Amino acid sequence: MRRTVALGTSLESLVTKYQRPDALGMDPLSIPLSYRDPWDRECAAWVAAHLAYGRVAPMLKAIQRALAPLENAPATWLRSRSLGEARESLEAALAGWVWRFHTHQDLVEWLLAWKRLDEASSHQGLESSLLPIRGESADAALSRLVQSLRRELPPSRGTRFSLPDPLEGAACKRWRMFLRWMVRPEWPDLGQWQRYPKHALVIPLDTHVSRIARMIGLTSRQVPDGRMALEITEALRALDPKDPLRFDFPLSHLGILGDCPGVRRLPGCAPCPLVGICRAGVTKRKTP
């Protein structure tokens, strides 16, 4: 009980520490937030979340370049063109674009997938495509969309990388991130989707969150898979049943911004709000 209280207090301090504009500026969410129209935000989030891997600075530039041909209004741009017209224009405008596993052909297919899903919802966005139906779980709904996209999209390395399935044990970090952005209404997220079950959100598990979660006892698992993501989410839910994912942004940015060295060192770690609960061990200071 005492440790739970200490964990909650420490994480609350971490939330306060990273709830600031400069931390958000080093997050892919900053790109969808730069748009005013909610549909443009959703479309930009669809791209940004699924390209959110690798080093932050070049990743942000890759996302910006990916959205540049859509003239500051990605949803409007895609909606105003036929599928053929959009494909032809995007193929020309994005030729040469690449981000690690993703080629410009992958990006074109991903943008056109948003267009098709949006049209299927009568231009009401993607929420209906991810809503659980007929009593299915949220992960079953995500799996249903993933499997549909696997059948529709060319089986390239980039598209397959974007289509992990939670029912196959994948952590689905980029999908979890997209859902968090779209569903959660509190800072820093977009909170545009009203029908998706907020309680079904699962933490987007990246290398930083998995490492720090082990260091502070949120999980005992070693493999960063779907089961670890669920275990961490449940541990955070015990601290905040209504909004466990509000701890995701500060946990990830503790690592993204290089503020956590990966091993507990004093006095360097003293300013960290988690220093009192960190289990990473203490290295001995060398004597001169």
72-116 pLDDT, tens digit each: 999 999 999 999 999 999 999 999 999 999 999 999 999 999 999
- What is the reported pLDDT for 284? 47
Same-domain check for residues 116 and 177: yes
- Asked whether the beta carbons of 199 and 138 are under 8 A apart, the reply is no
DSSP 8-state class, residue 126: S
Domain boundary among 200, 224, 259: 200
Q: Which are the contacts of 138, defined by CB distance < 8 A and separation ≥ 6?
A: 130, 132, 196, 197, 200
- In a domain, residue 46? The reply is yes
Separation between Cα atoms, residue 33 and residue 113, nearest integer Å? 21
Of 163, 182, 160, which is closest to residue 173 (Cα–Cα)?
Answer: 163
Same-domain check for residues 107 and 224: no
Same-domain check for residues 239 and 193: no
- In a domain, residue 76? The reply is yes
Looking at residue 93, its amino acid is A
- In a domain, residue 85? The reply is yes
Separation between Cα atoms, residue 120 and residue 100, nearest integer Å? 31
- In a domain, residue 50? The reply is yes
Same-domain check for residues 91 and 143: yes
Q: Which H or E run contains 234?
A: helix 226-239
Domain extent for 212:
1-26+202-282
Bridge partners, 65 (sequence order): none
Same-domain check for residues 225 and 260: yes
- In a domain, residue 287? The reply is no
Domain boundary among 170, 200, 230: 200
Give 38: exposed, middle or buried? Use CB within 10 Å, 0-12, 13-18, 19+. middle
User: What's the pTM value of the predicted model, to 2 decimals?
Assistant: 0.94
The total number of structural domains that make up the chain: 2
Same-domain check for residues 125 and 178: yes
Separation between Cα atoms, residue 182 and residue 199, nearest integer Å? 13
**Cα dist. 239→71, 102, 266 in Å?**
43, 38, 27
Q: What is the pLDDT along the chain (288 residues), one digit of tens a residue?
A: 677 899 999 999 999 999 999 999 999 999 999 999 999 999 999 999 999 999 999 999 999 999 999 999 999 999 999 999 999 999 999 999 999 999 999 999 999 999 999 999 999 999 999 999 989 999 999 999 999 999 999 999 999 999 999 999 999 999 999 999 999 999 999 999 999 999 999 999 999 999 999 999 999 999 999 999 999 999 999 999 999 999 999 999 999 999 998 888 888 899 999 999 998 865 444 444
Same-domain check for residues 35 and 131: yes
Same-domain check for residues 196 and 237: no
Same-domain check for residues 195 and 237: no
Question: What's the CATH number where 261 sits?
Answer: 1.10.1670
Same-domain check for residues 125 and 242: no
Domain boundary among 200, 221, 254: 200
Same-domain check for residues 125 and 188: yes
